Structure 1
Amino acid sequence: MWARISPLMPADPVRGRRWADHRRTLEAIAWKYRTGAPWRDLPEELGSFRTAHKRLLRWAVDGTWAKVFAAVLAEADAEGDIGWTVSVDSTVCRAHQHAAGARRTGPPVGAEPGDHALGRSRGGLSTKVHLASDGNARPLAVVVTVGQAGDAPAFTAVMAAIRVPRAGAGRPRTRPEAVLADRAYSSRAIRAHLSGRGVRAVIPQPADQVRHRLRRGSHGGRPPGFDPDTYKERNAVERCIARLKQWRGLAMRTDKLAITYLAALHLAAMLIWIRR
Structure 2
Amino acid sequence: MDGRGLPIAVLLTAGQAGDNPQLLPLLDQVAVARSRPRRRPQRVIADRAYSHPCTRVALRARHIRFTCPERIDQVARRRAKGSAGGRPPAFDHEVYARRNVIERCFARLKQFRALATRYAKRAAYYRSLLVLAAVVLWLREDPQDRP
TM-score normalised to structure 2 length: 0.85
Q: Could you tell me which residue of structure 2 aligns to residue 154 of structure 1?
A: 22
Shift of 1:209: 0.4
% of aligned pairs identical? 47
Quote the RMSD (CA, aligned, Å).
1.7
Give the aligned partner of residue 185 of structure 1.
50
Q: Find the counterpart in structure 1 of residue 92 from structure 2.
A: 227
Higher strand proportion, which one? 1
Matches within 5 A, 1:89-238: 140-164=8-32, 170=36, 172-238=37-103
> Greater RCO between the two (CA within 8 Å, min separation 6)?
1
Amino acid at match of 2:81: R
List runs of 5+ in structure 2 lacking aligned partners: 142-147
- Summarize deviations over 1:42-82 as a string: whole Å, max 9, x none: xxxxxxxxxxxxxxxxxxxxx8xxxxxx5xx5xxxxxxxxx
The 2-side partners of 1:178 and 1:153 are apart by 18
Quick one: which amino acid aligns to residue 201 of structure 1?
A: F
* CA distance, structure 2, for counterparts of residue 192 and residue 151 of structure 1: 17
- Partner AA of 2:60 in structure 1: S
Q: Secondary structure at the match of 1:145?
A: coil
**TM-score between the two structures when normalised by the length of structure 1:** 0.47
Alpha-carbon separation, structure 2, partners of 1:183 and 1:164: 24
When residues 155 and 260 of structure 1 are mapped into structure 2, their CA distance, relative to the original with a 3 A threshold, is same
Give yes or no for the alignment of 1:241 onto 2:106.
Answer: yes
Measure, in 2, the Cα distance between the counterparts of 1:193 and 1:150.
Answer: 17
Q: Which runs of 4+ in 1 moved over 4 A?
A: none
* Count of paired positions: 137
Q: By how many angstroms is 1:164 displaced? A: 4.6
- 1:90-138 Cα distance to aligned partner (Å, 9 max, x none): xxxxxxxxxxxxxxxxxxxxxxxxxxxxxxxxxxxxxxxxxxxxxxxxx
The residue number in structure 1 matching 2:127 is: 262
Higher helix share: 2
SS in 2 for 1:269: helix
**Unaligned segments of structure 1, at least 5 residues:** 1-62, 64-69, 74-139
